[in-house]
Amino acid sequence: MHTSHKDSQSEKGGSHHFDRYRTDFGIPEEERGLRITLGKEGAWLPRHEGPCVKMRPASLRRYLHTGGRQGQAKNFTYYIQLAVLAVGFVVFVSSIGLLFGVKKSNFWLYTYTHHINLAPLAYATDYTLSPVSYVQGKAFNRFITIWLENTDYNKAAGDPNIEFFAKKGITLNNYFAVTHPSEPNYVAAVSGDYYGINNDDDNIIPANVSTVVDLLEEKGISWGEYQEYMPYTGFTGKSYKEEKTRKNRYVKKHNPLIMHASVADFPDRRACIKNFTLFYDDLKSNKLPQWLFITPDQQNNGHDTSITYAGKWLRGFLEPLLEDPHFINNTLVLVTFDENDTYSKQNRVFSILLGDVIPKNLIGSADKGFYNHYSELSTVQANWGLKSLGRYDVGANVFDIVAQKTGDSLRSLDVTKVYLNESYPGIFHRKKYAPLPVPDTEASFGGRTVLESIRNIWGKVQSKSVYKGAPLSIPSLRNPPIYPREYSRRKRRGGN
C-alpha cells in the first residue's frame, strides 16, 4: 500500500505544552524531565526549556486526561472574563515596562506566543555567538550538512536541480534514513539514537544524553546550526508561523540540537543556533564554524511544497556558495533528505557529497557503500580524531572518500533487506515503552573510544547497554534493540 507522508498529523498535537518562561523555579536538575508520579505532593511536569511547574494530583490527572486542555469544558462567559483579565494584565505590565524604560522588544522576549510577530527580533536572544576555529582534519576542515524533506529516492534523482549537484559531486546510492517520521531522523544524526521516537512531538532528549557538540567542543572545534525562518537565536518554541499565511515556516522538529537538553539548557550553546539572517552575516564576516547543520524552512525544504520547489531553492542557495571561499575552503558538504515519502518502500534517500575536497576524478561518480544518518557522526569523528558517543555512531560506516584518508574500512551489508520504516520501542514511543538506552562506554572501534564525560556519567551501569559490538546493521521495529537480562530482571523487581 502506498502511503504518502507530510507529517501534518503531528502538528495537531501529541505532546503536553506549557507557555515557557525563563524563570528558575528552584527545581533540582535531577528532577527535571523525569517520569511523572502521582504522589501525595503532586508531580513535576517538564517544561520545554528546562524549568518545571508543580501540579497537585487532581490537576495533574485532569491535565493528562485532557491532553493539557484543562479548561475546554468551561462556558463562553468564562472565556470572556478571562480575556478581559488578560487584556488588563497586558496593559498593566506594559505600563510598568514603559515606566522603567524597558524596551518593548526585550521586555517581551521572555515569553512566546504564535500570535506575536517576532520577525523584528532576528537578533534578539540572551546573546549570539559566532565562534571560529581552525582545527585541521584528515580529509576536510569544514563539514556542512543540508537537509531537505520527505522525498523518494527516484523522485529526487529525477529532479533537474538535484541532478545538477549530483554531477558536481559523489552520489551516495545506498544512504538510508533510520526511521519515520521526520523528528527521530534529525535527533539520530546528532546523538546516535532516536530513543524510540515515532512521532513529531515536542520531545526533549534528557540532559544526560550527549551529542556531537560535546565531541566537537572537547577538541576545540567550532559548530553552529542555521535554521531558516527561526525568529531569533536560541529560540526553543515548537514552531514559528508566517504572519500573512499563518503557516509554519520554522519547526523545532527539524532543529536537532535544540531538542537535546544538553544543548538547549545552556545559553552559550543556544547562542550558536541561529537563523539565516545571521548565516549570511557570519558568511560575510568569515565567521562560519567548522561544523554546520543547515535546515531550510518548510517551503524551501520541500515539506509543504515539492521536490521541484526544494530543488530550485537548493540551486539558488548552494550554487553560489560553492564558489565562495568563505564557505568552501577545504570543505565537505552533504546534501541529504530526512526520510523518503512512501513508507512501504525502503527508507533510502538521495544524498550527495560536494565541496572542494572531492577529487576531480570522482566528480559525477557514485558510491555504493551502505550509509545512514549515523554516518554523519562517524565521518566527523574519523576526520578530526574525535571520541564517539557510544551509540549507533560507533559502527556506522565512514564515507569512503574520508575513510581512505582516516584508515577506516568500509564494511558491506545486503541493502536489499534494509527497510528502516518503523521506530523501535523507547522512552518517546507513543505505544511501546523501553528504557533510555545506556551507551556502550567500553566501545572501541576504528581507533575511537567513548568520550570521557560519557564514561563518567554512564560507566557504572555499563552492563545495561544495548549497543554492544559496533554493529553496522541498525535496529528497527522488526528487529528492536535487545536489553540485557540484568536490566529486565531489575525492572521487574521495581528498580532501574
Q: Let me know: does 193 contact 177? Beta carbons within 8 Å.
A: no
Closest C-alpha among 86, 295, 342 to residue 190:
295
Q: Name the grid cell of 86.
A: 488578560
Which SS3 state, helix, strand or coil, does residue 288 take?
coil
What is the enclosing helix (H) or strand (E) of 276?
A: helix 276-284
Distance CA 80, CA 72 (A): 13
Let me know if 287 is exposed, middle or buried by CB neighbors in 10 A (0-12, 13-18, 19+).
middle
Distance CA 399, CA 378 (A): 8
Closest C-alpha among 213, 243, 208, 241 to residue 225:
213
Q: Name the grid cell of 258.
A: 535544540
Q: Is residue 304 flagged as an active site residue? A: yes
Whether the CA torsion 269, 271, 274, 280 is positive or negative: it is negative
Q: Which of 152, 201, 304, 393 is catalytic?
A: 304
What is the enclosing helix (H) or strand (E) of 268?
A: helix 267-270
Distance CA 91, CA 181 (A): 43
Q: Name the grid cell of 91.
A: 496593559
Q: Let me know: does 236 contact 189? Beta carbons within 8 Å.
A: no
Alpha helices in 113-208 (DSSP H): 153-157, 160-166, 182-191
Distance CA 424, CA 433 (A): 9
Q: Let me know: does 332 contact 326? Beta carbons within 8 Å.
A: no
Radius of gyration of the chain (CA): 23
Question: Which residue is associated with the grid cell 521536490?
Answer: 307
Phi, psi of 371 (to 5 degrees): -135, 160
Which SS3 state, helix, strand or coil, does residue 222 take?
coil
Angle formed at CA 291 by CA 383 and CA 208, multiple of 5 degrees: 90
Instruction: Identify each DSSP E strand in 149-266 by its residue range.
Output: 170-176, 223-227, 239-241, 248-251
The catalytic residues are 304
